[in-house]
Structure 1
Amino acid sequence: MHFDLRDLELFVAVAEAGSIAKAAEHCHTVASAVSKRLSDLEGRYGTAFLARSSKGVAPTPAGLALLARARAVLYQAGQLDRELRGYSAGIRGQVRVFANISAIVEFLPAALASFLSAHPEIRVHLEEHVSGVVARAVAENLADLGIVSDIAGADGLIMIPFREDELVLIVQPGHPLASRERVDFREALGSDLVGLHSDSALHYRLLRAAADAGRPLNLKIQVTSFDAVCAMVAAGLGIGVVPRAATTPYTASLGLVPVGLNDDWAKRRLHLCVRSLEALSAAARLLLDHLAGATA
């Protein structure tokens, strides 16, 4: 191996700061030492990772590739450090879990409470992300296990059925569909829609449904969370599609009306996902088995 963690730390700091001097100050060292280490790193690999100019520095194409990997390596090294320190504090394992908002709000509170009650020596680090990000994090070993909806792009991951949730339409009380108990999604396509951002699994689901209906998807605004969808619908910017149970507190407090969807895709299956069962730590395997056993 032709580098150490300090090389990566300094390279990431320089790439993010756009300046060797600023990165040196941030890393509590001198600029000449930073410059020397990075020059030596470039020399060992025979390629430039930074393009230098009078305005500062910027990653080259090779530098961008190194930057992505270096961030992942440093993140994992930090996680390892925290986990090992946890052992000295009496914690016998830590599990990194990435999950979408539906799983976090609807299913994980009770499941994690019972798990941690049975295993108080284990610490769970939980982060909320959209399903696509969750799958990538598990594939890149940034998370031990994930919970995602039915998505493409999860090739290579082991998928274990977890739970089902229901997508509903949310509208203001005065909307023409507010008096209906259930509708076909095609009936909503004449209205402006508040949607999630383009990276989300739900965005692709709605695009496909609109294409199948031969109608355009009139996206008025795109946001990054389901509570934001509810807030925008309440502000009169359109209607939205959200998981029923995950957003009930928001829809109730904002006076919105949930309307059931007849479409088959409105019933979503959530999955647990891991890279490899064999590579899981003992703590992660315990949590996976607990969650898989808690399926309904």
Structure 2
Amino acid sequence: MRLDFFDLQLFLNIVDTGSLTKGAERSSISLQAASERIKKLEQHYATTLFIRHAAGVKLTIAGQTFAEQALLLAQQRKQLEQAMSPYAEGLTAQMSLWCNSSAQSEYLPTLLPQYLVENPHVHIDLKEAESNDIIQAIEKGSAKLGLISSFFNSQQLQTLDFFDDPLILICPTDHPLKIHTELKLIDSLNYPFVGLMQYHSLQQSIETQAKLLNCAIQYRLRLPNFTAIAQVVANGVGIAIMPKRAAQRLSSQYAFHQIELTGEWAKRQLLLAAQNFDELPTTYQHFVQFLLSQKAKLILDED
């Protein structure tokens, strides 16, 4: 027997009115039909739910248990209908994802189209910001979810590993450093650099590493994005440090040599960050699960 919500409501109407006749009337069915439905329930559960008497009906102990569970199911059904009705009416779910420049340019364009096609009711507002600013926004509650670099202190937040995002050095194809396949940062600091603008957290992090080596980076030019940097490096202006994935993407457009950087500082990761992932709204939790499930796709794309 398949449990029918109509039968549950009929049962509750009978309990509420104390009468099979009145319960049938409230459910808009005949007394005979109501009696047959209750009889089938009792046969299915192999127990008596009501004791019938001249004044109406009274619940048995089994009937009381059934009534408690039927009420819970009826309430849950109502909650389900309330939760789902906005989607039937075309409601859209709005999410904001804060991300650093590397995530915004190198990872999300690969993943977001699939998610948006599969979830047509969802709108995503991408907010590009520096990792430090994202961390502060999440801590203050003005942001719910972010993609940040492991460079930065996020101990007050929960984080999940999203993807490795190492840094490499690129140089012109005729540059003296082209003989190297890997390099320490200090071995590159005697050469002129092309860098991101001063406000970029990535460039600030690279400069911090140089200061730890008692060196200062010599900039010939500062530019707003990785594409512009790759172009001027390929034209022989200087060397630069950028995420490996960005360099691999741009190497098909511009001719430059790629050199692995040694040291833990260069082996950074992208992290998903939130105050508490379990307390995120359902839409955000679903999106996080999607992003984590797509890591294999990013590896395949990289290969």
TM-score by length of 2: 0.60
Q: Which residue pairs with 1:147 in the alignment?
A: 147
Maintained 8 Å contact 1:93/1:123: yes
Q: Which residue pairs with 2:261 in the alignment?
A: 261
Q: Which residue pairs with 1:227 in the alignment?
A: 227
Point out where structure 1 has 5 or more consecutive residues left out of the alignment. 1-85
Q: Which residue pairs with 1:135 in the alignment?
A: 135
Amino acid at match of 2:268: R
- After superposition, what is the alpha-carbon deviation per residue over 1:194-250, rounded to whole angstroms, capped at 9, x for unaligned? 222333332233223223333322233333322232233234432100112123333
**Taking structure 1 as reference, are residues 221 and 136 closer, same or farther at Cα in structure 2, changes over 3 Å only?**
farther
**Taking structure 1 as reference, are residues 267 and 153 closer, same or farther at Cα in structure 2, changes over 3 Å only?**
closer
Amino acid at match of 1:106: E
Q: Which residue pairs with 2:286 in the alignment?
A: 286
1:101, CA displacement in angstroms? 2.9
Q: Which residue pairs with 1:42 in the alignment?
A: none
1:37-56 equivalences under 5 Å are: none
1:153-168 equivalences under 5 Å are: 154=154, 156-168=156-168
1:24-39 equivalences under 5 Å are: none
Maintained 8 Å contact 2:173/2:234: no
1:161, CA displacement in angstroms? 1.5
Q: Which residue pairs with 1:116 in the alignment?
A: 116
Amino acid at match of 1:204: Q
Query: Over alpha carbons, which structure has the higher Rg?
Result: 2
Equivalent position SS for 2:176:
coil
**Taking structure 1 as reference, are residues 91 and 248 closer, same or farther at Cα in structure 2, changes over 3 Å only?**
farther
Q: Which residue pairs with 1:214 in the alignment?
A: 214
What is the alpha-carbon distance in structure 1 between the residues aligned to residue 134 and residue 232 of structure 2? 25
Q: Which residue pairs with 2:103 in the alignment?
A: 103
What is the alpha-carbon distance in structure 2 between the residues aligned to residue 123 and residue 249 of structure 1? 27
> What root-mean-square deviation, in Å, do the aligned CA atoms of Structure 1 and Structure 2 show?
2.7
TM-score by length of 1: 0.62
What is the alpha-carbon distance in structure 1 between the residues aligned to residue 190 and residue 203 of structure 2? 17
Amino acid at match of 1:260: E
Amino acid at match of 1:248: Q
1:243 matches 2:243: yes
1:137, CA displacement in angstroms? 3.8
**Taking structure 1 as reference, are residues 129 and 230 closer, same or farther at Cα in structure 2, changes over 3 Å only?**
farther
Q: Which residue pairs with 2:202 in the alignment?
A: 202
- After superposition, what is the alpha-carbon deviation per residue over 1:251-279, rounded to whole angstroms, capped at 9, x for unaligned? 43221222221222221111011234365
- After superposition, what is the alpha-carbon deviation per residue over 1:91-150, rounded to whole angstroms, capped at 9, x for unaligned? 441111121232234332343344334422212222333323333443454443111112
Maintained 8 Å contact 1:97/1:125: yes
1:181, CA displacement in angstroms? 1.6
Aligned-residue sequence identity (percent) comes to: 26
Q: Which residue pairs with 1:271 in the alignment?
A: 271
1:183, CA displacement in angstroms? 1.6
Report the number of matched residues: 211
**Taking structure 1 as reference, are residues 92 and 162 closer, same or farther at Cα in structure 2, changes over 3 Å only?**
same
Higher deviation after alignment, 111-120 or 89-98: 111-120
1:125 matches 2:132: no
1:89, CA displacement in angstroms? 6.9
Amino acid at match of 2:122: I
**Taking structure 1 as reference, are residues 197 and 142 closer, same or farther at Cα in structure 2, changes over 3 Å only?**
farther
Q: Which residue pairs with 1:178 in the alignment?
A: 178
Maintained 8 Å contact 1:171/1:233: yes
Equivalent position SS for 2:170:
strand
**Taking structure 1 as reference, are residues 193 and 158 closer, same or farther at Cα in structure 2, changes over 3 Å only?**
same
1:169, CA displacement in angstroms? 0.6
What is the alpha-carbon distance in structure 2 between the residues aligned to residue 225 and residue 133 of structure 1? 18
Equivalent position SS for 2:165:
strand
**Taking structure 1 as reference, are residues 284 and 250 closer, same or farther at Cα in structure 2, changes over 3 Å only?**
same
Equivalent position SS for 2:195:
strand
What is the alpha-carbon distance in structure 2 between the residues aligned to residue 186 and residue 206 of structure 1? 11
Point out where structure 2 has 5 or more consecutive residues left out of the alignment. 1-85, 297-303
